[in-house]
Chains A and B, each alone.
Chain A
Amino acid sequence: MAQGTNAPLKARLAAAALVAPLLLFLLGVFVLPIGAFLFRAVQEGEVAPVLPRTLAALSAWDGTAPPGEPAFAALVEDLREARARDQQAGGGGIARAAARLNADLPGFRSLLPMTARRVAQPFEGEARAAVLAISEEWGGIAPWGAIRRAGGPVSDFNLLAVLDLKRDATGSLATAPPDEAIFRAILWRTLWMGLLATLICLGVGYPLAWLIATAPPRAVPWLMAGVLLPFWTSLIVRTAAWMVLLQREGVVNAALGALQLTSGPLPLLFNRGAVLLAMVHILLPFMVLPIYASLKSLDWRLPRAAVSLGAAPALAFWRVTLPLSLPGVGAGCLLVFIQALGFYVTPALLGGANDQMLPYFVAFYASRTVNWGMAAALSCLILAAVAVILAVYGRLVGFSRMRAA
């Protein structure tokens, strides 16, 4: 930076004026949209407008036994009003509330509209008896707990759901039933695939970077072109290439068949191996380039000194060269791992149903089921992982040393 911290006010204002356009631009089209999207992970806006009296009646409920007559009476009143509103003005408030409650307690999608339809008819006597006559389910604790959890304005329902946790009617945590508990497995799969891709890239990338850094100057541009050409090639092109190579009637199977090495086409596509292969292929340059940069700027007299002082070459590498190149290794691993966590296109095209990672489910909830809450909660999970990695990197290597890489 050209001037110190004591720059005059005028200079600081000038700096602010230059930085402000991009900062405001990014606030508008990046920070605020993402913030608003992530807030949907905790926002609860569907149930409260439909069942305000019920929620009020449940506010003092302890969740250990089914609620009493006032809650049932409030439910009847709420549903009558909501149904009248839906029929007059449209809007489908009951359907939206039912969809949200169904995410917590399967069956609610039909239970709530059905109950609303039936209680619209006038009846004699206690509301409780009338509602229980519509469905025995209302006699239990579960539906009332689900209503109270969704009462909002905010709840941890989605955030817990992506960790395979949910709250019961009393508010204590429990693991989700096995048929709903899929997200921990997806999280581990995402982290595991990212870790594998990073380790393979490191294992392949370090020797390659070493070769480029130590090759005769004549060979360097050619080796470098071998890394940079794929690096600049569009991700979708490289994914397409793997699809064409690996598919049933693709290049590899045709070649194997022509050489009579296999009796029939091998299922090479739509599995985890294909995804990992393409991920390593796409991410490898991100590992090679920082390691190469740190090896290139390394003072090679230091390992030579170690060798001349009697260290075996392997020891000199392990104790001198490798530690000196660690900033590059760290930067490479950071770049590869963070990008691996966000991979969407490649697994979507090359993977099977069981090979999809967190970003796929963000897209799934956003486009197929339009469940913004879950899409946002899964995004929070990815961003939390990214933040943890950045923090670990900042602790171990430091961002100022990254510049030196």
Chain B
Amino acid sequence: MSAGPATPRIPARIAGREAPAAPVPPAAPPPAPPPTPARMRAPLKPGRILLWAFGVLAILFLLAPVLAVLPLSFSAGSFLHYPLPGLSLRWYADFWSSDFWLPALWNSLRVGAAAALLAGVLGTLAAFGLWRWRFPGQAVVMAVLLAPMVVPAIIVAVALLLAFGPLGLTSSFTGLILGHAALGAPFVVVTVLAALQQFDATQLRAAAACGASPVRAFWRVCLPQIAPGVAAGAVFAFATSLDEVAVALFIAGPAQRTLPRQMFSGLNDSISLTIMAAAMVLVLISGLMLLAVTLLRRPR
């Protein structure tokens, strides 16, 4: 199983996979099998049990809070605690019929898809350029391309509010999409660079020798092979947009309210169980994205 999208780790992990005959392929037993660490520590039975107990508790801590509150969205009552007075879909009906929840979901999906598309195209081109040719100042360019990952979103949000105001881009879908694409682009660059590490550049030369133009060689030879990486990068960009509150809070108008933004106002105001229904929707989308990335990352 492949690990998730933590940022700088990706190139490496996939880079490690690039050489199938590497001395220590992590999951499969190596040719001259050194004992697995588990077996190595076999005599330390109590320690092992303690480690399992600790690990399971830690995972419970990670999973339990969200799993514990999601069933509340099926409540027939309006309390935020158990036992449920009965089961119903009234909060989902509320989500469906209200004036702002469903539009917020559509806004989120639209902005996320557009931002992922923009970040995906720009990020893939940039990653290919960075990988194919070395040029002076590459380290600086790389630092600029990855900077949105380390600058807190609230600073980006306020800066964009100031910059977009005079341009008429605040309270517009264009502005929100541009902001979210900037935040998502580094994830595309990192993921596509990782995918390119598995791609053998001699194929491009072979394509050129066969008379293909560089564009055609990229389109027909390289892109099909790195497509899973490109798609995974686009999913990360989509997830970044779908998770984003601060920029949406500052530069979106009432017509561009995204689902997280709507949840933020709801939580600030008074918590209704409709928020839990919205949370359920977001969790389902997150699950789909995790599934998509896991399938895309599976070694072929």
Contacts and interface: CB of A to CB of B under 8 A. Distances in A.
Interface string B152-170: 1111111111111000000
Interface in B140-195: 141, 144-145, 147-148, 150-164, 178-179, 181-182, 185, 189
A217 to B, nearest CB: 6
Main secondary structure of the interface of B (DSSP, over half): helix
B36 A300 contact: yes
A386 B150 contact: yes
A204 B289 contact: no
A91 to B, nearest CB: 17
Interface string A61-95: 00000000000000000000000000000000000
Interface residues of B, number: 106
Interface residues of A, number: 119
A204 B54 CA distance: 8
Interface in B73-119: 79-82
Contacts, number: 350
Interface string A26-69: 11011111101110100000000000000000000000000000
Interface in A1-36: 1-5, 7, 11-12, 14-19, 21-23, 25-27, 29-34, 36
A395 B193 CA distance: 24
Interface string B1-18: 101111111011101100
B182 A289 contact: no
Contacts of B3: 224, 228, 289, 292-293
Given A23-B126, A234-B242, A241-B65, 16 more contacts: A15-B134, A15-B135, A26-B182, A40-B162, A217-B27, A231-B6, A236-B282, A239-B267, A243-B267, A284-B58, A290-B8, A293-B13, A300-B36, A342-B152, A342-B153, A405-B12
Interface of A: 1-5, 7, 11-12, 14-19, 21-23, 25-27, 29-34, 36-38, 40, 204-205, 207-208, 210-217, 220-221, 223-245, 247, 249-251, 253-255, 281, 284-286, 289-290, 292-293, 296-301, 303-304, 307, 313, 328, 331, 335, 338, 341-342, 344-345, 348-349, 359, 362-363, 366-367, 372, 375, 379, 382-383, 386, 390, 399, 402-405
